[in-house]
A and B are shown apart, each in its own frame.
Chain A
């Protein structure tokens, strides 16, 4: 009787003790990875240009929670982004959504580059055409004075 009580007590002690019997290998789930990917596209509204994955703000944490919940319910990443867009407007995306006047900054740089390149090309060609090409002819014949002086120098 005493043996079994002792045994039970030891067993209880082992099972309730704070140190883990088995160290676990932790890993991210596919859901974790998806949450991260979507969170990186959403802006933290109370931070300065941070996305909700980077931010430590409570609102960012709650928004990540909402993303996770919705993913669990089967929503697609686009649905989730749509949801946030409907609540906060375009500001909530980390980059300007490509519609309407926002196309201006998406294509702006390339227009500037191509347009600038063309203008530059035209300008440089204009300069090239306007530049007289160096004379390829033989040097001009010496005049009488120079020729005599040269002969005198060569003789001395």
Chain B
């Protein structure tokens, strides 16, 4: 085989193995979101605990943290403490709202979960999966941060704990509340 073909072969092989190596550290199921910077869908659903209708419309002009969870989800339990703590951190700011969305769950299970693990903010039920689909959700837990203009500024798939907790609180929510630009690179 000529030198040209030999070189092509070697380059293809090297490229291939570099690609495979890169692939080892990724998550083939992770879907990068296309919603950053777009308008947050104005969804609504009945409150898990009280049954009253909650609508995102009510919180226009505020920074909203939307957290999708389910009672059957292990990682949601893992992040629950963290999430409550996050709420404590910002609850006194009148421009901050925290909302949970109960995803693909049975009402008694969801109510039992909240009773057992406690909560300090309201949760709306996603009755037909429409809320989740509107937000491009494909699993739980997923967390969104919506700014005062009603635009989705940040999304995270996975439990908000440790390093991610710090990123969201310090680099996303805090600056937004002060009308400062945010840094999404953690």
Contacts and interface: CB of A to CB of B under 8 A. Distances in A.
Interface string A78-93: 0000001011110100
Interface in B104-138: 104, 128-130, 132-136, 138
Interface residues of B, number: 18
B1 interface: no
B31 A65 contact: no
B133 A87 contact: yes
Interface residues of A, number: 15
A66 B31 contact: no
A14 interface: no
Give the one of A45, A46, A88, A91 with max B CB within 10 A: A88
A65 B128 contact: yes
Q: Interface majority SS on A: helix, strand, loop or mixed?
A: helix
A46 B133 CA distance: 13
Interface stretch (B32-40, B61-69, B80-88, B174-182): B32-40
A31 interface: no
Given A45-B31, A58-B104, A59-B104, A88 B128 contact: no
Interface of B: 29, 31-35, 38, 104, 128-130, 132-136, 138-139
Lowest 4 A-B CB distances belong to which pairs? Answer: A62-B129, A45-B138, A89-B34, A87-B136
